[in-house]
Amino acid sequence: MLLRGIIICPDVDLNERLEALLNEMGIVSVTRTLERYPNSLELLRVVRAHAPNVVFVSTESTAKAIEITRELEKNTPGIQILAMSRSCDPQVLLEVMRAGIREFVSLPFDRQALIDALVRIKDTIEDRPPAVQATNQVFAFLPSKAGVGTSTLALNTAVAISRLPNVNTLLSDFDLNSGMVRFMLKLDNGYCVTDAAEHSLEMDESMWPTMVTTLDKLDVLHAGKLNPDFRIEPTQVRHLMEFMRRNYGALCFDLSGNLERYSLEIMHEAKRIFLVCTPEIPSLHLAREKYLYLKQLDLSERVCVLLNRCQKRPLITPAQIEQLVGTPVYMTFPNDYQGVQRALTAGRWVDANTDLGRQFTSLAQAMFEVKQPAAVDSRKRFIEFFSVAPGKAAAPVAKKSVG
């Protein structure tokens, strides 16, 4: 197993000499070098971006090195730390050992001593792998056929998720043939999904912000211009998704419906696959075909049917649709042509206060199992106004005298 490492060292000469030796040894792949001590937020971003097994930190500032050690132990237990310095100062060595750092190297670097330290680190990692946080809230939106409104559902659901407390959300448009998110939101970012895929192996916390556009609390990675000849490799998708899962609380993927290899890779990683269709025979027929295909791939338990553009008096009932497609309808969405058109014209999303907007909120809450507050029955409260309070006896009614 090749270890992934980052170096944190303000001493440029020291970190260059260490990195040269590590590259020569072939035990550790150094994915990032920081020439200053990061603050806690920067450190967390670097760790999420690179998921290192081991962090090399210089003791040029012992206090800073110990602070970094404590932040790593708090946020990513299991990451191994190796301290380094120009000289072996007994006082510094004692302080870093008290902080929990068990490995220390100094100039001139002894090759065998470093190898022995890395072997011990490797053994520790195999027994206790680093716990880098990664979300499992991954959702794929798959159209039964073109034109059923999948991008509208994916976009507005992602927006609704981003409104939930403490859920940083990413919407990615992986429809390379006819991706609509860029047009729907009037995005002008020159970078897109294909750029992110091509740089998936070296993606880091400084490159990623150039790839996405932030709108309110939502990050968007659009599909770019029409590029049907480009093929995203499954390995690129895996690396990209690993990065995304470490950096976001929820991932929404708008897929083309063509069942490309990279789309299947995303669906295998998804917690739920939302199969979008409309109450029309061709759409329902293809929804059934895709459901049966996903069933062959052992993905049927993740499939949830979303029925879009429902009329108040449908010709085909939800029960008939469930019978035709072969799986229950998870949620229905009303046909709000004017509301969707207003959103497209403004380059925004559907108004959350409309019936359609409220349904997107309901879907987001269901996806994250957010409990709705219990509705208060105003009639009951009115009756209770006349009832006797618990623990209190009713006052005796005076009898009317006769005569």
For residue 379, is pLDDT > 70? no
pLDDT over threshold 60, residue 201? yes
Higher-confidence residue: 182 or 226?
Answer: 182
How does strand 218-221 pair with strand 213-215? antiparallel
Name residues whose C-beta falls within 8 Å of residue 120's C-beta, 6 or more positions apart in sequence.
102, 103
Domain boundaries, the chain: 3-127, 138-367
Over 60: is that where the pLDDT of 113 sits?
yes
> Is the model's pLDDT at 283 over the cut of 90?
yes
CA-closest candidate to residue 367, choices 55, 104, 154, 96: 154
Contact 255, 269 (CB under 8 A): no
The pLDDT of residue 234 is: 86
- Please say whether the dihedral angle defined by the alpha carbons of residues 235, 239, 244 and 250, taken in this order, is positive or negative: positive
Give residue-wise pLDDT tens across range 132-147.
788 999 999 999 999 9
- For residue 374, the model assigns a pLDDT of 55
**Residue with the larger pLDDT of the pair 228 and 101:** 101
Structure confidence at residue 226 (pLDDT): 80
The whole-angstrom separation of Cα 205 and Cα 210 is 10
CATH 3.60.70.12 fits 3-127, yes or no: no
Closest CA to 151 of 160, 143, 161: 143
Domain 3-127 identical in fold to domain 138-367: yes
Q: What is the mean pLDDT of residues 263-281?
A: 95
pLDDT mean over 219-247: 90
Q: How confident is the model at residue 373 (pLDDT cuts 50, 70, 90)?
A: low
- Pick the range with the lowest mean pLDDT from 26-35, 324-333, 382-391: 382-391
Please provide residue 83's backbone torsions phi and psi, each rounded to the nearest 5 degrees. Answer: -85, 150
**pLDDT per position as a tens digit, 118-129:** 999 999 998 888
- In this prediction, residues 362-368 reach a mean pLDDT of 96
Report the distance separating Cα 311 and Cα 99, nearest Å. 65
Res. 230 pLDDT band, cuts 50 70 90: confident
For 50-104, the pLDDT digits (tens) are 889 999 999 999 999 999 999 999 888 899 999 999 998 999 999 999 999 999 9
**pLDDT at residue 56, rounded to an integer:** 97
Q: What pLDDT score was predicted for residue 343?
A: 96
Cα–Cα distances in angstroms (integers) from residue 308 to residues 183, 277, 316, 333, 356, in the given order = 21, 6, 13, 5, 10
| pLDDT recorded at residue 389 | 45
In this prediction, what percent of the chain has a pLDDT beyond 70?
Answer: 92
pLDDT(375) > 90: no
What pLDDT does residue 401 have? 41
User: What's the pLDDT tens digit per position in 26-55?
Assistant: 999 999 999 999 999 889 889 988 889 999
pLDDT at residue number 372:
62
pLDDT confidence of residue 327:
92
Query: 138-367 — its CATH code?
Result: 3.40.50.300
**pLDDT score recorded for residue 49:** 85
